[in-house]
């Protein structure tokens, strides 16, 4: 019996990861024979453990919090979007033994918003909440879709402004504080903070959504997040969590590894049902 190709997701914590369920569903759908597991990596040991994984025949890794910067440093080669983001969530071994690093977060978000939800991005004014790793991966792909402008709001203004400067060659983008949001309206607000995980909400003023504005939380749960409930109260035209993004970014990783793109719709539906079970 042939040994199955080995894949994994590395993170800390990792118990909550849905990646094994998603990738094994992709494998079954596309007829790919592989093994995929979730592995908790101790802080400070990412390069050591990832090096061992690939040295023992591992084919590819997904990388989640808090190791996306470690993965960026670990990779021998980087995609353009990974280099711009300064973070890597997908590693793949190449024929020559080198390690390729990519960031599929942004393309996953764009595909979910544009293809799955049918929300327009071109020419839209976008507010991104938070200037951490979640926001870092999505800015380039959003700007490349021809949005009108992106404003990054963060509690630490300097961090938002520095992040915006890294992407200013791609389009109109700036950083500000939450207090600066008192004026202005946006067509799409994306929550890239982890506030929803603790049941909290960023300090947002009222009336910052345009009349046909939408709201997207990069977090996901069985029930609407505090941010989604806030947006619905602000009469958002549509709201969504980030489950579709999770599946879409995984599909991009799967395609990088296996050269075949899975159909994401049935997997998103399966994952949604499993959340509410």
Catalytic residues: 68
Q: Is 115 part of any known ligand binding site?
A: no
Using the Cα atoms of residue 134, residue 195, residue 121 and residue 243 in order, give the sign of their dihedral: positive
Q: Is 193 part of any known ligand binding site?
A: no
Q: Is 82 part of any known ligand binding site?
A: no
The reply to whether omega before 13 is within 30° of 0 (cis) is yes
Q: Is 159 part of any known ligand binding site?
A: yes
Are residues 256 and 60 in contact, defined by beta-carbon separation less than 8 angstroms? yes
Are residues 240 and 217 in contact, defined by beta-carbon separation less than 8 angstroms? yes
Among candidate residues 74, 11, 1, 62, the one with its CA nearest the CA of residue 40: 11
Q: Is 64 part of any known ligand binding site?
A: yes
Q: Is 10 part of any known ligand binding site?
A: no
Q: Is 17 part of any known ligand binding site?
A: yes
Are residues 216 and 239 in contact, defined by beta-carbon separation less than 8 angstroms? yes
What the block records as the tokens of 34 is: 């592989």
In sequence order, which residues have a C-beta less than 8 Å from that of residue 228 and are 6 or more positions away?
A: 215, 217, 239, 240, 241
Q: Is 242 part of any known ligand binding site?
A: yes
Are residues 223 and 247 in contact, defined by beta-carbon separation less than 8 angstroms? no
Q: Is 18 part of any known ligand binding site?
A: yes
Q: Is 218 part of any known ligand binding site?
A: yes
Q: Is 276 part of any known ligand binding site?
A: no
Q: Is 130 part of any known ligand binding site?
A: yes
Q: Is 206 part of any known ligand binding site?
A: no
Q: Is 131 part of any known ligand binding site?
A: yes
Q: How far apart are CA 51 and CA 97, in angstroms?
A: 11
* Buried/exposed 97-113: b ≥16 CB within 10 Å, e otherwise: eebbbbbbbbbbbbbbb
Are residues 64 and 91 in contact, defined by beta-carbon separation less than 8 angstroms? no
**Known binding site for NADP(+): residues?**
130-134, 154-159, 218, 242
Binding-site positions? 17-19, 64, 89, 105, 130-134, 154-159, 218, 220, 242, 249
Q: Which residues are annotated as a binding site for shikimate?
A: 17-19, 64, 89, 105, 220, 249
């Amino acid at each position: 019996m042939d040994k199955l190709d080995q894949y994994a997701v590395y993170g800390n914590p990792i118990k909550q990861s849905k990646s094994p369920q998603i990738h094994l569903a992709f494998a079954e759908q596309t007829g790919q024979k592989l093994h995929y597991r979730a592995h908790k990596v101790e802080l400070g040991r990412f390069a050591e453990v990832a090096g061992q994984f690939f040295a023992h025949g591992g084919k590819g890794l997904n990388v989640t919090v808090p190791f996306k910067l470690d993965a960026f440093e670990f990779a021998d080669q980087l995609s353009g979007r990974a280099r711009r983001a300064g973070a890597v969530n997908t590693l793949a071994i190449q024929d020559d033994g080198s390690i390729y690093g990519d960031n599929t977060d942004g393309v996953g978000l764009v595909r979910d918003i544009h293809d799955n939800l049918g929300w327009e991005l071109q020419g839209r004014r976008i507010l991104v909440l938070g200037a951490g790793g979640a926001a870092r991966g999505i800015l380039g792909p959003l700007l490349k879709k021809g949005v009108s402008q992106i404003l990054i709001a963060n509690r630490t203004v300097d961090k938002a402004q520095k992040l915006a400067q890294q992407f200013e060659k791609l389009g109109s983008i700036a950083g500000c504080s939450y207090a600066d949001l008192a004026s202005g309206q946006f067509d799409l607000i994306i929550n890239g903070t982890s506030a929803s995980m603790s049941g909290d909400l960023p300090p947002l003023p009222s009336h910052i959504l345009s009349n046909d504005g939408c709201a997207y939380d990069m977090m996901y749960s069985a029930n609407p997040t505090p941010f989604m409930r806030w947006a619905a109260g602000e009469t958002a035209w549509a709201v969504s969590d980030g489950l579709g993004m999770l599946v879409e970014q995984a599909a991009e990783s799967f395609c990088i590894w296996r050269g075949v793109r899975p159909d994401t719709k049935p997997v998103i539906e399966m994952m949604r049902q499993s959340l509410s079970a």
